[in-house]
Amino acid sequence: METPLVIAVLLLGLVVLGLALLLLRRPGGTAALTGQAELVGRLSQLADSQAAAKAQLAERLQAQERALAHTLEERLSDLGRRVGDRLQEQTQQAGQTLGALQERLAVIDAAQKNITELSSQMIGLQDILGNKQARGRFGEILLENLLRDALPAAAFELQAQLGAGRVDCLIRLPYPPGPIAVDAKFPKEAYDALREAKDDAATVLARRAFAADIRRHILAIAEKYIVDGVTAESALMFVPSEAIYAELHANFANLVEESHRRRVWIVSPTTLMATLTTIRAILRDVQMREQAGAIQKEVALLVGDVKRLDERVGKLQRHFEQVTDDFRQVRLSTEGISRHGQRIEAIQLEVPEKADLLGNTN
């Protein structure tokens, strides 16, 4: 606001100075000279006032400049402090974020290792299941683990001799029903072909192959492992795959019915465990019945011991009664002795005087 005013004053002074110069160049009289002198005086005053205004303006400008510099310095300092705090906060946040990121990367790395190991294990399992002999051994090992978890070692025999061949497991039950044979079968190729069939024609062929494979296993078990007078009237076909077991009961009910007619019961790992639990209860019941005779014999002996103990207690009671009577007689004797002692103490003897004892008379 003050700078435009100063500029306006300077411009006005210049205009006035120009007018004065013009008047000085014009011819005139004394009045003109007097007017010129006055004009020069006024111009001098105007110049002095302009110089004072300039000095005042310069001082004000310097003061404003110093205030502006101080304000700018304070604001720059505050801005620098805020920027520093913000940078420090951002650094801390970045450090925390990097730490969390490193932890997550470590978790991801561990998960990746687990996935890699699991993939290698899956590849190994696929290799095992792809080989027919290895797959058969896998079913036998799974069957063995289930048996060891559910039954005592004496209740079953692995690779037991049965007739001209061997069965994977023979569960030894008393008659009836007798030993039960368990054979593991794993028709994976036929099941995989059924699952991977692309069209209806391939599905029909795969179903026929799968049904033929299962029926062949059922007939083999019924012929080899159900022996009259040696085993029970039924046997178990262990399928070590819940998926195959579910497929049989869902879409091949005729095969399941045929297995029932031939007394070959198809079981999966889950249903076999339930069956083994029932067998364990049967074995426990048989063991309890076997021990019942021994228990009865021991109870009879215990009853005899109790009778003898009762007789001896009666004799001891009679002895106690005799001792009690003897104590009573002894008590009576001691009481009599006590009475006689009291009577003796009550007797008073008369003692003669001393003179009489010496034989003097008066």
Residue 257 binned pLDDT confidence (cut-offs 50, 70, 90):
very high
Query: What's the mean pLDDT in 79-102?
Result: 83
Query: What is the Cα–Cα distance from 46 to 180, expressed in whole angstroms?
Result: 136
At residue 81, the pLDDT reads: 85
Give yes or no for a contact between 184 and 168, defined as CB atoms under 8 angstroms apart: yes
Query: What is the Cα–Cα distance from 170 to 160, expressed in whole angstroms?
Result: 6
Give tens-digit pLDDT for 126-156. Answer: 544 455 555 556 678 888 888 888 888 888 8
Has residue 231 got a pLDDT over 80? yes
At residue 6, the pLDDT reads: 55
Q: Which of 255, 238, 258 minimizes the C-alpha distance to 247?
A: 255
Has residue 178 got a pLDDT over 70? yes
Has residue 282 got a pLDDT over 50? yes
At residue 74, the pLDDT reads: 86
Has residue 32 got a pLDDT over 80? no
Segment of 78-87, 263-272, 297-306 carrying the highest mean pLDDT: 263-272
Query: What's the mean pLDDT in 289-315?
Result: 80
Percent of the chain with pLDDT over 90: 3
Q: Please give the mean pLDDT across all residues of the chain.
A: 77
| Residue 28 vs residue 61, higher pLDDT | 61
Name the β-bridge partners of 183. 237
Give yes or no for a contact between 125 and 137, defined as CB atoms under 8 angstroms apart: no
Give yes or no for a contact between 234 and 263, defined as CB atoms under 8 angstroms apart: yes
Give yes or no for a contact between 17 and 44, defined as CB atoms under 8 angstroms apart: no
Query: What's the mean pLDDT in 217-227?
Result: 89
Residue 361 binned pLDDT confidence (cut-offs 50, 70, 90):
very low
CATH of domain 132-287: 3.40.1350
At residue 125, the pLDDT reads: 45
Query: What is the Cα–Cα distance from 167 to 182, expressed in whole angstroms?
Result: 7
Q: Which of 187, 165, 292 minimizes the C-alpha distance to 237?
A: 187
Percent of the chain with pLDDT over 70: 78
Has residue 84 got a pLDDT over 70? yes
Query: What's the mean pLDDT in 22-26?
Result: 57
**Amino acid (one-letter) located at 93:** Q
Has residue 277 got a pLDDT over 70? yes
Enter the pTM of the model: 0.47
Has residue 115 got a pLDDT over 50? yes
Give yes or no for a contact between 252 and 124, defined as CB atoms under 8 angstroms apart: no
At residue 263, the pLDDT reads: 92
At residue 180, the 3 state secondary structure works out as strand
Please report, for the chain, the start and end positions of each structural domain, with discontinuous segments joined by +: 2-93, 132-287
Has residue 200 got a pLDDT over 80? yes
User: How far is C-alpha 234 from the chain's CA centre?
Assistant: 43
Give tens-digit pLDDT for 322-343. Answer: 888 877 888 888 887 887 777 7
Give yes or no for a contact between 181 and 157, defined as CB atoms under 8 angstroms apart: no
At residue 114, the pLDDT reads: 75
